[in-house]
C-alpha cells in the first residue's frame, strides 16, 4: 500500500515512516520547518499545496501526525492551533477522500480534563487547554466529515527520535550535565513508546480500523515516577530531580492531572504489543546503545 505521512519530521511521523517501510509499504513523508532528506515541504494550512501532494502521491492511506504540539504556545495562539490541528487535517482528509485514501488523525489525552483518568475511548471529553480543544474539535470535525476516519489518541510519547526533544532526552541531558530539573508528581499519564505507537497505527491501517482508538503505553504513572524509572534504566543520577506540583510550574496552559489512556480496545483488536514504560525505556536504551558508539546512553 502507499502512504502519505504529513508531519514526518516530527517524532511520531518519523516512527511512522520507519514502521510503514519495515512492513513493506511505500511511504512518502512531509515536513514543515525541519527539513528531512527525502521528505517534501508541506504546510497543511496551504490548501493548494495539500491538494498537489495528495493528488501527486495518490495514497491509499494518509497518516497525519502533523500538528501544533507546543501546549503553552497554543494557549496564547488558539486560532493558529485550530488552523493546524483542526482545519488543516480536515482539508487533507477531504482531499484524500477524493483519491480514495483512508485518513488517520493523531489526537491526545488532553481532550480529557484529568479529573478521573485513565480514560476509555468513549469517556466524555472536556479539554482544559486550547491545545486540547483544537484537537477535540479536529476529532469531531473529521469524524463528522469522514465517518470511516481513524482517530488515534496518544500521550507522553518517547523513544529514539532524530530531534531528541522528547521528555526522556531532556531528562538524559539534564542529568548528564548536572542540571536541576523540576518534574510534576501530580500529572498521571500513560507514557507511550514511539515505535509501538507507529507499529500499532500501521496495523490499524492494514486492518481498516475506523473511529477512535487509544494507542498508548500499558500502565499509568506520574511524570516524576516515570523520570525516576528512566534514571534507573539509563543509569542516571536522579539526585537533582525535584518532584513538584503542576501548579508550582506556572505553565500557561492547564494540564489534565489524573489522566492516562485505557488501551483495552486496542489490545483486543491489535496484535501489536503496547509496551509498559519499563519495557519501552529498556527498548529505547537498547536502540540508543546501538546507534551511539560515543555513548549517548548510559
Closest CA to 238 of 166, 179, 158: 179
Q: Minimum distance from CB of 106 to ligand NAP (Å)?
A: 4
Q: Minimum distance from CB of 10 to ligand NAP (Å)?
A: 2
Choose between 239 and 260: whose C-beta lies nearer to ligand NAP: 260
Q: Minimum distance from CB of 85 to ligand NAP (Å)?
A: 7
Sequence-distant (6+) residues with CB within 8 A of 239 are none
Choose between 12 and 295: whose C-beta lies nearer to ligand NAP: 12
Of 105, 131, 193, 213, which is the active-site residue?
131
Q: Minimum distance from CB of 43 to ligand NAP (Å)?
A: 5
Choose between 9 and 272: whose C-beta lies nearer to ligand NAP: 9
One-character DSSP codes across 82-124: HIIIIIHHHHHHHHHHHTT-EEEEEEEGGGS-SSS-SB-TTSP
Asked if 199 and 258 count as a contact pair (C-beta separation under 8 A), the reply is: no
Choose between 70 and 239: whose C-beta lies nearer to ligand NAP: 70
Cell of 50: 495539500
Q: Annotated catalytic, 131?
A: yes
- By CB neighbour count within 10 A (0-12 exposed, 13-18 middle, 19+ buried), where does 178 fall? exposed
- Residues in contact with ligand NAP by the rule CB under 6 A: 6-7, 9-13, 31-34, 42-45, 65-69, 84, 106, 108, 154-157
Return the active site residues.
131
Amino acid at each position: 500500500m502507499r502512504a502519505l505521512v504529513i508531519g514526518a519530521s516530527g517524532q511520531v511521523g518519523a516512527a511512522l515512516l520507519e514502521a510503514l517501510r519495515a512492513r513493506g509499504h511505500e511511504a512518502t513523508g512531509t515536513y514543515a520547518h525541519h527539513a528531512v532528506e527525502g521528505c517534501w515541504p508541506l504546510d497543511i494550512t496551504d490548501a493548494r499545496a495539500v491538494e498537489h501532494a495528495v493528488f501527486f502521491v495518490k495514497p491509499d492511506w494518509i497518516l497525519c501526525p502533523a500538528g501544533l504540539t507546543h501546549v503553552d504556545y497554543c494557549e496564547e495562539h488558539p486560532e493558529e492551533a485550530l488552523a493546524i490541528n483542526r482545519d488543516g487535517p480536515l482539508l487533507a482528509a477531504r482531499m484524500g477522500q477524493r483519491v480514495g485514501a483512508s485518513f488517520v488523525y493523531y489526537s491526545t489525552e488532553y481532550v480529557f480534563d484529568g479529573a478521573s483518568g485513565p480514560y476509555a475511548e468513549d469517556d466524555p471529553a472536556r479539554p482544559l487547554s486550547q491545545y486540547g480543544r483544537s484537537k477535540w474539535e479536529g476529532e469531531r470535525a473529521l469524524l463528522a466529515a469522514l465517518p470511516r476516519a481513524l482517530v488515534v489518541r496518544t500521550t507522553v510519547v518517547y523513544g529514539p527520535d532524530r530531534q531528541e526533544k522528547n521528555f526522556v532526552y531532556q531528562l538524559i541531558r539534564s542529568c548528564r550535565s548536572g542540571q536541576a530539573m523540576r518534574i510534576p508528581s501530580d500529572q498521571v499519564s500513560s507514557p507511550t513508546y514511539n515505535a509501538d505507537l507507529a507499529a500499532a497505527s500501521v496495523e490499524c491501517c492494514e486492518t481498516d480500523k475506523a473511529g477512535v482508538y487509544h494507542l498508548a503505553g500499558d500502565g499509568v504513572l506520574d511524570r516524576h515516577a516515570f523520570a525516576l524509572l528512566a534514571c534507573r534504566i539509563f543509569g542516571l543520577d536522579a539526585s537533582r530531580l525535584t518532584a513538584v506540583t503542576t501548579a508550582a510550574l506556572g505553565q500557561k496552559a492547564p494540564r489534565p492531572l489524573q489522566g492516562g489512556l485505557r488501551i483495552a480496545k486496542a489490545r483486543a483488536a491489535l496484535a501489536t504489543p503496547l509496551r509498559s514504560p519499563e519495557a519501552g525505556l529498556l527498548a529505547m536504551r537498547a536502540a540508543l546503545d546501538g546507534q551511539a558508539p560515543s555513548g549517548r546512553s548510559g
